[in-house]
Copies of this chain bind each other. A is one copy, B any other.
Amino acid sequence: MKFIIQRDQLIASVQDVMKAISSRTAIPILTGMKIDAKSHGITLTGSDSDISIESFIPAEENGVVNVEQIEEGSIVLQARYFPDIVKKLPEKTVEIEVDSNLKVTIRSGKAEFNLNGQDAEEYPQLPKLQTDDSFALPTDLLKSLIKQTVFAVSTMETRPILTGVNIRLEDNTLKFTATDSHRLASREIPVKDAIGDLPGIVVPGKSLSELSKILDDTEENVEISVTNNQILFRTKHLNFLSRLLDGNYPETSRLIPDQSKTVLYVKTKELINTIDRASLLAKEERNNVVKLSTIGDNLLEITSNSPEVGRVAEEISVQSIEGEELKISFSSKYMLDALKAIDNDEVKVEFTGAMRPFIIRPANEDPILQLILPVRTY
């Protein structure tokens, strides 16, 4: 194997693929990165067996030559050193060459690294996804869907299914839902060209977070294919494969109250800042709990009280308050997460009493829904 490659291209691909590589893995060869050289380009692969990432660098693209003098072959390199080496090479091009003893030589300018490689035959084969259940959506929209839901997955392994995001495609509507049983985040979007429905699958939250970091903010499409136990996200030069979580995702629709007793409209940013300040004294001992009280029909008071440290109170004007008076306590962290996920200047918050879950939505009625269970403090 041999090729000469543009260093910046190689750095970008290496960084993407590294997101799947863990130094703690039961399969030693997975601590390495696989490099495949074919005449049409170079493929880098990393995997921790939950997530696998393939990044492709075409030999030539739009008339620009990325890779030259390719002699086909493959090798696995220790991922611990390779990224730093590539980053610090002195010249704009890098030559990588493997001899018959799996010795790898990396040359750039006058710098020469000789590394011990491993046989690529020993690297596990990634499953080939055979499926017709595929649909596509713009990359930036997929990233929003992830960002607006994934924070609500459970971090506890007691109910593993809740560590994932439920993805469902029905009647050309795609819905992401996440809940840790104290709060819930969901969003729906219409999808064109979906071939058939997708029964609820559950993708590990960690996989989606990593995917979101790798994807650029473009409007180009991501193609999504699903089989029994895998999901594949494919862009022009990237394959991102994740296992699915086993088990039944809970039916969440019945958690969502269908009527409300107090409804308020408030500026998102002001509510975020006020709750952020109130949470300052509520850090550890108080479990981030803050209290919200309505005052008349256009004022809220947000308070927090830590006997040892002190008390904070702030009034905030709201657009409108309709319905019953209300005093309710909740986790400021959950509330801030929910508010930050809503991409709109104004939010609508619907309460059905101090002990019932409440709902936060964008005031423009975009189908984003955030639900939070209050905390009993009386």
Interface residues of A (CB under 8 A from B): 78, 81, 84-85, 88-90, 104, 110-116, 273-274, 276-277, 280-281, 308-316
> In the complex, are the beta carbons of B78 and A309 less than 8 A apart?
yes
Report which of B113, B281, B309, B310 forms a contact with A312, defined as CB distance below 8 A.
Answer: B113
In the complex with contacts A90-B273, A273-B88, A311-B280 CB distance below 8 A: no
The 5 closest A-B pairs by CB, nearest first: A115-B310, A111-B314, A114-B311, A113-B312, A110-B315
User: Which residues of B are found within 8 Å of A314, using beta-carbon distances?
Assistant: 110-112
Complex Cα distance, B78 from A133, in Å, reads 59
- Give min CB distance, A112 to chain B, whole Å: 5
In the complex with contacts A110-B316, A274-B111, A84-B280 CB distance below 8 A: yes
- Give min CB distance, A281 to chain B, whole Å: 6
User: Which residues of B are found within 8 Å of A114, using beta-carbon distances?
Assistant: 310-312
Complex Cα distance, B85 from A78, in Å, reads 47
| 30 A-B pairs with C-beta separation under 8 A | A81-B309, A81-B310, A84-B280, A85-B277, A88-B273, A88-B276, A88-B277, A88-B280, A89-B277, A90-B273, A90-B277, A104-B310, A110-B314, A110-B315, A110-B316, A111-B277, A111-B312, A111-B314, A112-B312, A112-B313, A112-B314, A113-B281, A113-B310, A113-B311, A113-B312, A114-B311, A114-B312, A115-B310, A116-B308, A116-B310
Complex Cα distance, B280 from A314, in Å, reads 53
User: Which residues of B are found within 8 Å of A276, using beta-carbon distances?
Assistant: 88
- Give min CB distance, A152 to chain B, whole Å: 25
- Give min CB distance, A293 to chain B, whole Å: 14
Complex Cα distance, B164 from A8, in Å, reads 43
Q: What 9 new A-B contacts, CB under 8 Å, besides A84-B280, A111-B314, A113-B312?
A: A78-B309, A88-B277, A90-B273, A110-B314, A110-B315, A110-B316, A111-B313, A113-B311, A114-B311
Complex Cα distance, B313 from A348, in Å, reads 64
Complex Cα distance, B277 from A49, in Å, reads 31
